[in-house]
Amino acid sequence: MFCPKCGSILLPKAEKGKTILSCSCGYRSKGEEIKFTESAKPKAEIQIGVAEEKEVLPLTDADCTKCGHKKAYHWEVQTRAGDEPPTRFFKCEMCKHTWREYK
């Protein structure tokens, strides 16, 4: 509820054993007692599950050093100084073994 004089929010105040709404500008609601009820919404149940693992990396031809599979996901990271080539990482499509290649 808002104050009809200044538009501020009316705040509850205990006065003479009653709860009324009042404003900082001096406005007070007319003698009627205000009753507040408090209710809480039931908490929503959250279900946590394991999502299917999907690779979003590009697939390339590379021989896995562990199982010999011919396809692997790859990405590059600049692990050394900026004037040196980046390090290429591979992750086998079949056994998920990860290895790196320096150029």
Query: How far is 17 from 26, CA to CA, in rounded Å?
Result: 19
CA dist., res. 97 & res. 91, Å (int): 6
**Cβ-Cβ contacts under 8 Å for 75 (sequence gap 6 or more):** 57, 58, 88, 89
Question: Which residues are marked as active site?
Answer: 83-84
